[in-house]
Structure 1
């Protein structure tokens, strides 16, 4: 199944990946698809950005001393079992049955199951809510994941048709020098690249007003390294192109 063509399934998988409830082989398969397909990679990054707010709003909780005591007892028990495993066994001696530890406690595993269920329900709720909104409004949004030559994502670009703005979010570690600027370009086929704006170096992201028509005519975007303040868009980029990627049209 091509999950990129199934928006609801893609949203559920992306939300589960961002929450950490997508595990094992399913998670590895999703990561493989994200490396191969720009739309899957963009969806995963979008959901990671959306769910990041829950982490920021969550209060800090310090573990109680009881938790640390249990962890220490668990580690000590594991070390003791390892030492005993190297000792020769005595046929006449029968090892007493060990009492179940706290990790075998039924309430503990019930609690872990409840937490996992809550995380799964949260992913399903958010994805379903996203799907219902998409069915009702269905605006066209453009998404691009701009990557370097090694295919490492460096910039997430999204277009919101309601505000008419591009949102650029740095997802890589690259930072330009103080005397240089990153400039965003639309790449219309057979024409000179069109400048969409210069990135602000002070923050992780920024917004740029843009004409949607210029996006419709550009199948790809690119970012070049230019002198401070950028260059005129008449002749295209003058510096090296650091990041580029296809512009994907999505109905959200």
Structure 2
């Protein structure tokens, strides 16, 4: 596959971009994708949009204390052993401080670690004796700003909704979450709080293949009168993907 073929396949382009940001795109495929990023500004913009959708998840990750072996291992990899020269670390750090490529790499490394940590947290409740599949969607507004993170756990049959930013909703209005099927049919998943977190029931068969998109509409107080037809406008939406 070449870059032109990729751009002519929007669904594959979105899939590869999301996997690249999550870090699950590896080996030769990742190197080829990075080469395309240098060649095409539109592809880079798609990646930036996925970063804006997924990076807010890092704020839900708890603080973790690194083990005592972490820093010695980093020093060893960078050749900064203080046993040979106690000042070598600081001299090298001064050089690194002026190295723009180093800081870019450090930023990418930090973002990747945060995303990996969130993925682990989302799946750590899995019971090894049972099969579990997890899903996630980052809902964004018309300005591509992340508004809510929704995760799904098939074993528990639950949807966890976390609002990234509180929404100012009028007292006579409600936010309603919808599953948009591959066939275009929609189904209400329930009403959302305008801030904080909440849990909803996850319908059976709500896979990324059957339900590629989640959307939130602004409805009259109490939601749409028809669970299969929204009455208000779509204000947030995002792809439902398996992780």
Query: Is the Cα contact below 8 Å between 2:131 and 2:155 reproduced in 1?
Result: no
Q: How far 1:173 moved relative to its partner?
A: 4.6
Instruction: Name the residue aligned to 1:245.
Output: 238
- Structure 2: which 5+ runs fail to align? 1-15, 26-43, 65-86, 95-105
Alignment partner of 1:130 is 2:126: no
C-alpha separation between the residues in 1 aligned to 2:132 and 2:22? 16
Q: Deviations over 1:147-203 (max 9, x none)?
A: 1111111111111223211111111353211211100001113343100000123x4
Between structures 1 and 2, the one with greater helix share:
1
Higher-Rg member (1/2)? 1
- Measure the CA separation in 1 of the matches of 2:222 and 2:154: 27
The TM-score, its normalising length taken from structure 2, stands at 0.54
Change (3 A) 1:109 1:43: same
SS at structure 1 position matched to 2:55: helix
Unaligned runs of 5+ in 1: 12-30, 56-105
1:236: which partner in 2? 229
Displacement of 1:224 after TM fit? 0.4
Question: Structure 1 8/188 Cα, relative in aligned 2: closer, same or farther at 3 Å?
Answer: closer
Structure 1 residues 128 and 187 mapped into 2: Cα distance closer, same or farther (>3 Å)? closer
Equivalent residue, structure 1, for 2:167: 174
Distance change in 2, residues 1:164/1:179 (3 Å): same
Q: Which residue of 2 aligns with 1:35?
A: 48
TM-score, normalised on structure 1?
0.52
2:198 maps to: 206
Helix, strand or coil at the partner of 1:213: coil
